[in-house]
Amino acid sequence: KPLPDGGLFVCGPVGSHKSHLLAARTADAYTRGFESKFVSWSDILLSVRGSFKQGGRSESEIIGDLIDLDYLAIDDMPTGRVGRKETAFSHRVAYAVLDGRYGRGSRCTTDISTNLLLEEMDHAFDERIVRRIKEQTTTYTMLLETKQ
């Protein structure tokens, strides 16, 4: 069974099970034989930053591995709060990953979870990154049901 066309942009408040949904989709893709990975945005940034040390994997190898996956779930992107711009480093990594996966077209699926609404992503990332997210995903908003 093929991967679905396009990924998901899953937004909602803390505790609305966004990560659980992406983890389940990762497990499903993996059990169907697709190269799959579930990773937090902060772990991606830490891995790339760690590549600056000598002797480790290079930045291009780390990003290349993410680009080459059939299915990639990026959890909690961005790491900042509403209205806070991500760093230039974060922008560079985000664009490299998302643009590289965009270049693969329908041969890969990218899901993203976040606490921000899609229109709030404009405050965290520049237009090129937000455009890549919009072009590769369908937006789903998770609602948090409160117990009374």
Tell me the per-residue pLDDT of 65-91, one tens digit each, with 9 for 90 and over: 999 999 999 999 987 666 678 899 999
> Does the pLDDT of residue 119 top 70, yes or no?
yes
| Whether 121 contacts 10, CB under 8 Å | no
Q: How confident is the model at residue 111 (pLDDT cuts 50, 70, 90)?
A: very high
At 79 the pLDDT is 75
Q: What percent of the chain has pLDDT over 90?
A: 64
> Does the pLDDT of residue 147 top 80, yes or no?
no
The residue type of 41 is W
Tell me the per-residue pLDDT of 20-39, one tens digit each, with 9 for 90 and over: 999 999 999 999 999 999 99
d(CA 63, CA 42): 14
Tokens of 9: 């942009």
Mean pLDDT of the region 133-142: 90
> Does the pLDDT of residue 113 top 70, yes or no?
yes
